[in-house]
A and B are shown apart, each in its own frame.
Chain A
Amino acid sequence: MEVAQLLLGGISVGCVYGLVALGFVLIYKATESVNFAQGDLMMLGAFITLQFVNTAYWGLPFWLGVLLAVLVMAVVGYLMEALVIRRLFGQPQFAVVILTIAIGFVLRFAAGFIWGHEPLTLETPFAGRNVALGRLVIGVDEIFVIGATVVLTGTLYLFFARTRLGVAMQAASQNQLAAYYMGVPVKRIHGLIWALSGGIATIAGVLFASRGSIDPNLGLLGIKAFAAAVIGGFGSLPGALAGGLIVGIVEPFAGRYIAAGYSQIMPYAIMLVVLVLRPNGLFAQVQSKKV
């Protein structure tokens, strides 16, 4: 029973890591640069949702608030790409990495300035409610997190596999030059991908917030999600989710069966082992170029 309980908690945290990792990988695949502000986008998305939803602020209905926050953050993501990142086109990747780290700091302090540095709780319709399944007690928030992740990944899968824009996004990330030759507006596609990962980060933020409190340092969770993305194979979308689940599941077990502090070390330990044994990650799409 204890194992099942730990597993369930691990999966639901893992879903959040997986979604943040998904944002990392989406941007990396499309633009070949790493957005280290991904975790802070998640934090910002959670706070914007809180601003819309909480009764102390605007008190909109929960689902409407989430929808609006996702849209707002998609615009933020798009503008970040169009106004800042695009100007670094042709510069070394290093410049983009440092820039996104800086953006992360700015977002963190801006959030602290607006919403304060004390932890706040997002008012969700299912906080504190439980469902008993035999002897297993499941929080409704955990069901919500897992269910939402399944629905979101399913939607994303259909989007990338079936829609014209989704296939064009894949094409642009697989071969940018050829995408140009086919008349794909690659720059606009990059902007849309940033918008998409802004939206996904917001959903991850809402899911995280539904399980506990949020504060401006929440974005540091992005580092753990980064480890998850590396474990899964940076560049593979299913890999990002799997990596997130692995990290999420290992954490509580390490904390329970080894020692409390180990839950914070294990994600990075796994990352190191994976990098040594399988440098491309567990689910990497490795392309050998044919001539």
Chain B
Amino acid sequence: MNVVAGPFQQGEGAAGAPVLQVRNVETFYGAVMAIRGVSLEVHRGRIVTILGANGAGKTTLLKTISGVMDPEKGQILLNGEEIQGIEPDEIVRRGVAHVPEGREVFPFLSVEENLRMGAFTRSDDGVGADLEMVYAYFPILRERFRQQAGYLSGGQQQMLAIGRGLMTRPKILLLDEPSLGLSPILVQEIFDIIRRLNSEQDVTMMLVEQNAKVALNTAHHGYVMEVGRIVMSGTTAQLLDSEDIKEFYLGVTGETQRGQKRWKRRKTWR
């Protein structure tokens, strides 16, 4: 598998100031603290991935960044400006696009109307050109531009959701589980496009994935979340080398004895 991480990896922060900074954010679901003091950074032109099991708080973190949920504590900075607590439509206007888990297309609108909804907050005249750009990356969407989005296949709906996110012309694109429910071939296809969007269009992305292998082969930098906390971070090369990641996220198992030990050690992270 080719690792696209190469050219961007020269020194942390070389690609410029961080687009997104999350500082000690705590978010609650009712009485349950789902995010327990998370801090992270995403630099311009990079793909940062968040790995973690079900219920680790990855989706909640994305929802907190895009303003659908409000953090109880902490700050979220977009290009240095605080955006926590602002209404979600204003956050989209400022340049955060959220491609939600499970696609969430508008089922009875046509493909093109769905894409144009992505440009709802924009009033510039670049919308037509961006539509062409999205069609260039996802040719299948151009073929089906009149069809109702609800009739697209899962993979096509995922492409539509990503295209719709790009139509907001984001400073950062938040991708929540783009591989969910897709066949391995489709996952490859979609991640190839994600890599191309990053290298050719310079789209900064934050990628939440359960499929650690494909995520680590796509991103430049990774964070590992467990029960609302970040327990590990590093360049994807470092993470791919880490024994813990290999065992618990990539499924490369050594002898079971050692696995047991590691499991115990991993428990102490919490």
Contact = CB atoms under 8 A, between A and B. Distances in A.
A174 B168 CA distance: 19
Contact of B109 (A167, A177, A290): A167
A285 interface: yes
Nearest to B122: A183
B58 interface: no
Nearest to A188: B89
B104 A181 contact: yes
B206 interface: no
A182 B168 contact: yes
A183 B168 contact: yes
Contacts of A178: 100, 104-106
Interface stretch (B33-41, B112-120, B191-199): B112-120
Interface in A169-204: 170-171, 174-175, 177-185
B181 interface: yes
B150 interface: yes
B154 A182 contact: no
Interface in B79-97: 87-93, 97
A291 interface: yes
Contacts of A184: 89, 117, 120
Nearest to B100: A181
Nearest to B121: A183
Contacts of A148: none
Contacts of B66: 181
Given A174-B109, A183-B88, A183-B92, A291 B104 contact: no
A164 B104 contact: no
A274 interface: no
A168 interface: yes
Given A167-B116, A168-B120, A171-B117, A182 B109 contact: no
A171 B98 contact: no
A206 to B, nearest CB: 31
B109 A181 contact: no
Contacts of B181: 291
Nearest to B180: A291
Contacts of A285: 108
B108 A182 contact: no
B106 A171 contact: yes
A52 B105 CA distance: 45
A167 B111 CA distance: 13
A177 B120 contact: no
A185 B67 CA distance: 12
B229 interface: no
B107 interface: yes
Nearest to A291: B181
Interface in A49-70: none
B164 interface: yes
Contact of B117 (A167, A185, A290, A291): A167
B250 interface: no
B157 interface: yes
A184 B107 CA distance: 16
Contact of A290 (B68, B87, B121, B154): B154
Contacts of A91: none
A283 to B, nearest CB: 13
Nearest to A168: B120
A175 B107 contact: yes
B108 A287 contact: yes
Contacts of A290: 150, 152-154, 157
B83 to A, nearest CB: 13
Contacts of B91: 183
Given A171-B109, A185-B89, A290-B150, A177 B117 contact: no
Contacts of B107: 174-175, 287
B186 to A, nearest CB: 13
Contact of B92 (A164, A177, A182): A182
Given A183-B89, A290-B157, A291-B181, A177 B104 contact: yes
A175 B105 contact: yes
B154 A181 contact: no
A31 B152 CA distance: 26
Given A180-B89, A181-B88, 13 more contacts: A167-B113, A168-B120, A171-B109, A178-B106, A179-B106, A181-B104, A182-B168, A183-B92, A183-B93, A184-B120, A185-B87, A290-B157, A291-B181
Which 3 residue pairs spanning A and B have beta carbons closest together?
Answer: A183-B92, A183-B121, A178-B104
Interface of B: 66, 68, 87-93, 97-100, 102, 104-109, 113, 116-118, 120-121, 150, 152-154, 157, 164, 168, 181
29 contacts: A164-B120, A167-B109, A167-B113, A168-B117, A168-B120, A171-B109, A174-B106, A175-B105, A177-B68, A177-B100, A178-B100, A178-B104, A178-B105, A180-B89, A181-B92, A181-B99, A182-B92, A182-B121, A182-B164, A183-B89, A183-B90, A183-B92, A183-B120, A185-B87, A287-B108, A287-B150, A290-B157, A291-B102, A291-B181
